Amino acid sequence: MTKNKQPRVKRIKLDFSPEESVTSFGGMAVVKRLLLRLGVDGLLESHLPARRGYSLSTITMSAVAGLLSGAQGTVATEVARHDPALRKVLGVAGAPEEATFWRSLWDAGSP
């Protein structure tokens, strides 16, 4: 007879400093760490075509962060655009406005 084993809990250490900006989306640090561990950033950079302005990787990461934080549709990039602490967590200097995200989706679907 096999005993049921309890799953091993992984601990993640996060440090916060009073000198740093604060965001209500601080849990995105865990998401970013997971994406880095999975190599998503590198895959995005290597598989998405280059473009002027924001890279498609930055646009994608901004949209994913916005969607995970509760935004809906193309307005998702606005969450990161207006939150400097969230942009720092994501590791992006800036985030595109909704229209840029919309144009990049349009371009991706064009032949």
**Global pTM value:** 0.70
Residue 18 has pLDDT above 80, yes or no: no
> In the 8-state DSSP scheme, what is residue 74?
G
Residue 109 has pLDDT above 90, yes or no: no
In this predicted model, what pLDDT tens digit does every residue of 21-49 receive, in sequence order? 777 777 888 888 898 899 998 898 888 88
| Chain center to CA of 111 | 27
Q: Quick check: 64 and 77 in contact, CB under 8 A?
A: no
Residue 75 has pLDDT above 70, yes or no: yes
d(CA 111, CA 89): 34
Q: Quick check: 104 and 51 in contact, CB under 8 A?
A: yes
Tokens of 80: 């990161």
The per-residue pLDDT for 19 is: 73
Which percentage of the chain shows pLDDT scores above 70? Answer: 92
The per-residue pLDDT for 2 is: 60
